[in-house]
Amino acid sequence: MEKNFTKKLNNIDVERRLLLSENCINDFPRGHEAYLKFKDEDGQVWTFRCRAPPVGGSPALYGDWFLFVRSKDLKAGDVIEIALDREKDQAAGEQFTIKLTGPDGIQCIKTMDTKMV
């Protein structure tokens, strides 16, 4: 498992969009979007839209990210860690894990896959 990035959520992350560090997804082309799908601990599939601006700026997650934040009751100060799992089956697409640590210290692991558009 290759660690991509860890982030302490701030107000913008939980109210508008999750800004990713530029090195989080090195191979993600500028000016493109991808839909990230992952299954949470309850088996619900979420779709996040990831967009990297054509010039400058950081990639960000939109879309169901807001529904996910609300359903998990995420707050500024919670920590997430996103990692690429290169061991997953290539036919399934890129596989990521996201770990969330809430204020109560409970960690959850989710799996995501990507599909470029």
Give the pLDDT score at 86.
Answer: 58
Q: What is the DSSP letter of 49?
A: E
Q: Rounded CA gap, 43 and 15, in Å?
A: 24
Report yes or no on whether pTM surpasses 0.75. no
CA distance 55 to 35: 20
Q: Among all chains, which residue has been given the structure tokens 């692991």?
A: 109
| pLDDT band for position 76 (cuts 50, 70, 90) | very high
- Mean pLDDT, residues 82-110: 56
State the Cα–Cα distance between residues 21 and 30, nearest whole angstrom. 13
* Three-state DSSP state, 16: coil
Cα 65 to Cα 99: distance, rounded to the nearest angstrom: 14
Looking up tokens 């996103």 gives 82
Q: What's the pLDDT at 114?
A: 47
Q: Which CATH superfamily does the domain covering 2-116 fall into? A: DNA-binding pseudobarrel domain (2.40.330.10)
Q: What is the pLDDT of residues 22-63, one digit of tens each?
A: 666 666 677 788 887 766 667 677 778 888 888 877 888 888
Res. 13 pLDDT band, cuts 50 70 90:
very high
Strand pairing report for 45-51 and 107-116: unpaired
Please classify residue 23 by burial: count the beta carbons closer than 10 Å to its beta carbon, then call 0-12 exposed, 13-18 middle and 19+ buried: exposed
Structure tokens at 76: 């500024």
3 vs 33, which has greater pLDDT? 33
